């Protein structure tokens, strides 16, 4: 991957998490997390709840307190989508 493609990937993450106003470095952490999360194993895997907990645990290492609150609020909104019928 060249520098332009890498910058494009980081810009996509910054856009996807626009409500957090991520710095470039924070977006890089998310990029690395997402790449690691693509590794497949038939033997070891997380349930959806474990995956959410793990993602929050990772994110709390580089997000500010305010960003974590916003992240959790957005996560709660997204979990509510599609549950009303």
Instruction: Specify if 71 maps to a domain.
Output: yes
Per-residue pLDDT reduced to its tens digit, 1-46 = 798 999 999 999 999 999 999 999 999 999 999 998 776 667 667 7
The total number of residues shown for the chain amounts to 85
The mean-pLDDT minimum among 8-17, 42-51, 70-79 falls in 42-51
CB 36 within 8 A of CB 20: no
Measured CA to CA, the distance from residue 29 to residue 46 in angstroms comes to: 20
Predicted model pTM: 0.79
Q: Classify residue 63 as left (phi > 0), alpha (psi -120 to 50) or beta.
A: beta
Instruction: Specify if 33 maps to a domain.
Output: yes
Instruction: Specify if 85 maps to a domain.
Output: no
Measured CA to CA, the distance from residue 36 to residue 64 in angstroms comes to: 22
Q: How many domains does the chain have?
A: 1
**Domain boundaries, position 52:** 3-80
Residue that has been written with the tokens 């709390």 in this structure = 60
């Amino acid at each position: 991957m060249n520098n332009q493609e890498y910058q494009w990937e980081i810009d996509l993450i910054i856009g996807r998490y626009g409500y957090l106003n991520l710095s470039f470095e924070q977006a890089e952490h998310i990029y690395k997390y997402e790449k690691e999360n693509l590794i497949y194993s038939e033997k070891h895997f997380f349930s959806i709840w474990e995956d959410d907990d793990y993602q929050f645990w990772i994110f709390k290492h580089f997000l500010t307190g305010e960003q974590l609150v916003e992240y959790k609020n957005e996560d709660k909104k997204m979990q509510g989508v599609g549950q009303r019928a």
